[in-house]
Amino acid sequence: MQQTIKVALLGLGTVGRGVYRILTGNAVNIAHKVGAPVEISRILVRDLTRDRGILLDPALLTDNYQDILDDPEIDIVVEVMGGIHPALDYVMAALKRGKSVVTANKDMIALHGKELFAAAAASGAGLLFEGSVAGGIPIIRPLKQCLAANRIQEIMGIINGTTNYMLSKMTREGVDFDRALREAQAKGYAEADPTADVEGLDAARKLAILASIAFNSRVTLNDVYVEGISKITARDIAYARELNYVIKLLAIAKETSEGIEVRVHPTMIPQNHPLASVNDVFNAIFVRGDAVGDTMFYGRGAGELPTGSAVAADIMDAARHIIHKVPGFIGCTCYEEKPIKPMALTESKFYIRLMVADRPGVLASIAYAFGDKEVSLASVIQKHTDGDRAEIVMVTHRVREQNLQDALHLVECLSPVDRIANCIRVEGE
């Protein structure tokens, strides 16, 4: 075997521990597959005295990044700190020194991918980020390599485990949003501040990365329409079941003649759709290509060892390039400039739940308002809820978003309409 490939870890939190365990526990196997030993030679931490829950040589630890940057023997820098700063500064400095970088930082890649890829290209270093989107599920490399001959037409996926756990629990047990959130927090699936997860921001960052690769055009977080699950109720879950749907928080990206469509929102999908059976903290990504047809990638979307698995595989890939002196890492694939399709121009079917006065003529007036904006109704369910109030549930035919929103504005102004309780898009049919 050839020289040892030396690696520095930036961070020893959940993912960092996973990477350490994999690289040390599977060292012999990894060395044979790479063609040389891969060794962790430095670990950057904030507190040198803190108990990390793993056995390691304290001499590996440093709280000074300069020790890593100035070490000519360190070939690969692995960023598993999370957050933007100081991670971005550390990664940029490593790339400029010609050190390859492996990261699982979705925020950094989603917001600063363009400049990071430019720095990597300028120095000839590698920038690999398989662990940034779906934990242990391979998706970045398949899009960049295995499916590279395809024109990707659509990506639709469950890429946030917290919300999928919550919606799965609400569906199985009929519990409300607040209880599902409390249980997700108790199990460690949701943070004390769950905003990024439950409001869809985590999934939106991941979708921006996937769409940029799939459609060869830069997609940023600001381009993604985002809507979370906090308005989903047990009643919506029950109606979905009655209509033979399941509610999931989906990340959807499509290439259309009007531009790239990128959106994250709660979605009703048919019970027989492949994504409908993806439950708990599992993730799945459905990809449609013009040559391959439909494919789906499924597995654990987060966690110490699943994400560590993706990061370790990227380290091995970077190590092989160094060992065999192979130039030409697959860099930025955003070589086109495609417009982003406005959300108002997207099309879906819609589920709408209304609370209205229970008297003759109400349904007719609502149907007239929808018809005035060219919204066609596919089905209507009306149920009494209390003395003088009724609940109406409607599912539309496929309609443009702007037409639907205009119709809802008219409906909301009707005197018999107490409120629009919810509106959920329907996909996958």
Give me the active site residues, please: 206
Secondary structure (DSSP) of 198-235: HTSHHHHHHHHHHHHHHHTB---GGGSEE--STT--HH
**Pairwise CA distance, residues 399 & 397, whole Å:** 6
- Cα–Cα separations (whole angstroms), residue 166 to 176, 245, 266, 274: 9, 17, 12, 19
- DSSP annotation of 342 reads P
Residue 393, Cα to own-chain centre: how many angstroms? 30
Residue 6, Cα to own-chain centre: how many angstroms? 31
**Pairwise CA distance, residues 141 & 150, whole Å:** 14
- Quick one: which of 218, 271, 195, 239 has its CA closest to 350? 239
Q: Do 254 and 335 touch, CB atoms closer than 8 A? A: no
Name residue, tokens 């499509």: 254
Tokens of 51: 């108990």
Residue 298, Cα to own-chain centre: how many angstroms? 13
Tokens of 201: 């921001």
- Quick one: which of 86, 84, 51, 80 has its CA closest to 65? 86
The helix/strand/coil state of 305 is: helix
- DSSP annotation of 86 reads T
